[in-house]
Structure 1
Amino acid sequence: MSNSMEDILNQIRDGKLDVEQGMDKLRDLPFQDIGHTKIDHHRRLRNGFPEVVYGAGKSPEQVADIFMHMHTRNNVLVTRASKEMAEHIRSLFPDVKYNSMANTLTYVENKITYSKGTVAIITAGTSDLSVAEEAKVTCEILGSHATIISDIGVAGIHRLFDRIDEIRKATVLIVIAGMEGALSSVIGGLVHQPLIAVPTSVGYGANFSGLSALLGMLTSCASGVTVVNIDNGFGAACAACKITRLIE
C-alpha cells in the first residue's frame, strides 16, 4: 500500500480506511527531504508542536532553505540563531522577527491559540536572561503566556520574597540559575506548582560551565523539581507548554 498522503486521503474518501486508521498512518508522514535536511512536517500531529530549527552549526543558507520549505505550513522557530543568520533570513523573509537576547528567529503563519495556563520564568541573575528569553519566545510561539521575573537569586533572597505572591499565581514555573543553582531548590520548597529547573553556564571556574548548577539541581532537596540540560531554555519551555495545555 502506498504511503503517500494523497493515497491515504483517497482511501479514506473511498471508504477503504476509516478516519482513525487514516490518522494512525498520517502520524508518521510525511517528511520532506531537501538534501541537507529532512523536514518533519507532521511533528505537530504526533506530539502537538511543529518541528523547531536548531540554528547552531547550520549555515545561514541552510536555515534559509529550511525556512523556505517550512514557513507556508507552520509557524517557524529557529533557536541559537546568530546575528549573521538573522540578517540573511530577514533579507529574504522581512516578516521574520529576531530576538537578539534569545538568539531566536520567529515567523507566525498560523494564528496562535493560547492555553489558559501561564508560565513564570524566573532567573537568579541578569546574566541568565538570554536563556530566559529563549524560554519565553518558545512559550509564546507554542501557545503559552509567559512572563519573566529576573534577578531574584539567593544572594539577595529578600528579592524573591518580594515576588513570591506573583510567582504562586503561575501554572508552571521555569527557574533558571547558574553558579551553584540553588534558586530552584529554594523556590521548590515554597510553591506547589510544577517546577522545571534550568542550569546555566553562568559562573566562575569551579562552575565548570554549568555543571555545578546542573548537579545542584539534580540533587535538590526540594521534592518534584524537574531538571533540563544546561542553558536549555527551549526544552524547559516545551515541557511547560505541555503542562499548560492540560488546563481547561
Structure 2
Amino acid sequence: MREILQKLSDGEISAETAEKMLKTMHIMEIEDFAKMDMCREVRTGVPEAVFAEGKENDEIVKIVMKCADNDGIMVTRLQNDRYQSIKEDLSPLIDRGFKLNYNRKARILVVKEHDPKKIGKIGIITAGTSDIPVAEEARIVAEEVGCDVLRSYDVGVAGIHRLFSQVRIMLEEEVEVLIVVAGMEGALPSVVAGLVDMPVIGVPSSVGYGVGEGGFTALYAMLQSCAPGIAVVNIDNGFGAALFASTIIKSRIKREI
C-alpha cells in the first residue's frame, strides 16, 4: 500500500490506477480454487489460515507457497500423513528463510519467518487428556499471534481437587483470559468461571459417550451455564477460542495506548 501511495505521490500512476491497485491487492487468486484474503490481519487482527479438510494436497502446497510471504500462514486440521506427503514440496520455503513447524497433536502446520511480538498471557485448561488435541490447537494459534500460554491439562470435575492449585497458578501468573476445553457434560468452564475474575472461553470438545458423543451435550451445558463471564465457541474450535482470547488482550492494549 505504501508503494502504491508513493507512486501516486510521485506522479508515476494516476489516481484511477492507484484505486484499482488498492482494490485488487487485498485478494490473491490461486488458479480457480482459492481466493486468499491477504489483508485480513491488517484489517481485523486475525491472520489468514487454511483449513486443510476438503482440499487436495497439491492445493494446500500451492496456497502455502503463494501466501507464505504475507507474514507466513497457518494450515489447520492437517493430518500427519498428509503433512508427510507434502513436506518435501514445501521444502523450498526453508531455503527462503521460513520455518516449518508441524504439531501432530494439534494438526497444525505453521509457516513463518519470525516470531510474533508478545502481547499478553493466556491460560488453557482441559477437563481430560482426550481434550488435549483441541487445547493444543488453541495453544499453537495463541502463540502465533503473540500470546504466552500457560497450560494445565486433565484437571476436570471427575477429580475436582486437581483443579484448584492449577487455577491458583494461573492467577499468580496474571493470565488475562482462560480457555477451558471440556467434553462429556462440559461442566468445567462453569466451575472455573466461578473461581476467577477474568474472561473464560468455553470450548466444547467432541469427547463423550452416548448423548455426549459429538460434543453437543457439552456445548449446550456451556451455553446454559449459570456462572457469569463465559463465552462459548463451536465444538472443537480451539482455533476460534485462541483468536477470541487474543482479541480481548489486544483490546486492552489499545485502551492503554
Normalised TM-score (structure 2)? 0.86
* Contact 1:59–1:85 (Cα < 8 Å) also in 2: no
Residue 62 (str. 1) matches residue 92 (str. 2) = no
Counterpart among 229, 237, 241 of residue 242 in structure 2? 237
Q: Any idea what SS the aligned residue of 1:85 has?
A: helix
Counterpart CA distance in 1 for 2:136 and 2:23 is 31
Give yes or no for contact 1:179–1:204 (8 Å, CA) kept in 2. Answer: yes
Deviation at 1:49, TM superposition (A): 2.7
Q: Aligned residue for 1:131?
A: 134
**Per the alignment, do residues 161 and 89 of structure 1 end up closer, same or farther by CA in structure 2, a change over 3 Å counting?**
same
- Which of 90, 102, 105 pairs up with 1:101? 105
What is the SS of the residue equivalent to 1:57?
A: coil
CA contact (8 A) 2:131 2:183 kept: yes
Deviates more, 1:222-231 or 1:102-111: 102-111
Query: In 1, Cα distance between the equivalents of 2:90 and 2:225?
Result: 44
Matches within 5 A, 1:154-173: 154-168=157-171, 169-173=174-178
CA distance in structure 1 between the aligned counterparts of 2:217 and 2:110, rounded to whole angstroms: 32
Distance in 1 of aligned mates of 2:162 and 2:227: 20
1:32 & 1:224 partners in 2: Cα distance?
39
Q: Does 1:180 pair with 2:177? A: no
Quick one: percent identity of the two aligned structures?
42
Checking the alignment, whether the CA contact within 8 Å between 1:27 and 1:46 is kept in structure 2 is: no
Q: TM-score, normalised by structure 1?
A: 0.89
Unaligned runs of at least 5 residues, structure 1: none
Superposition map of 1:22-37 within 5 A: 26=22, 29-34=25-30, 35-37=32-34
Q: What's the offset of the Cα at 1:44?
A: 1.3
Alpha-carbon distance in structure 1 between the residues aligned to 2:8 and 2:54 = 41
Tell me the CA shift for residue 85 of structure 1: 2.3
Shift of 1:29: 4.2
Secondary structure in 2 matching 1:139: helix
1:197 alignment partner, SS class: strand
Aligned in 2, Cα 1:11/1:202: closer, same or farther, shift over 3 Å? Answer: same
**Counterpart amino acid of residue 130 in structure 1:** P
1:83 maps to 2:87 = no
Residue 192 of structure 1 aligns with which residue? 197
Look up the equivalent residue of 2:127 and give its one-letter code: A
1:144 aligns with 2:144: no
Question: Residue 96 of structure 2 corresponds to which residue in structure 1?
Answer: none
Cα gap change, 1:167 to 1:26, in 2 (>3 Å): farther
Distance 2:200 2:151 in 1: 15
**How far apart in 2 are the matches of 1:224 and 1:162?**
21
- Aligned equivalents of 1:227 and 1:236: distance in 2? 8
Q: Secondary structure at the match of 1:209?
A: coil
More displaced, 216-225 or 4-13? Answer: 4-13
| RMSD, aligned CA | 2.4
Matched residue, 1:49? 46
Uncovered stretches (5+) of structure 2, i.e. residues with no partner:
92-98
Letter in 2 for 1:160: L
Report the Cα offset of residue 26 of structure 1: 5.0
Q: Is the 8 A contact 2:184 2:213 kept in 1?
A: no
Deviation at 1:9, TM superposition (A): 4.9
**Equivalent in the alignment of 1:114:** 118
SS of the aligned residue for 2:215 comes to: helix
AA partner of residue 83 (structure 1): N
Say yes or no: does 1:212 pair with 2:224. Answer: no
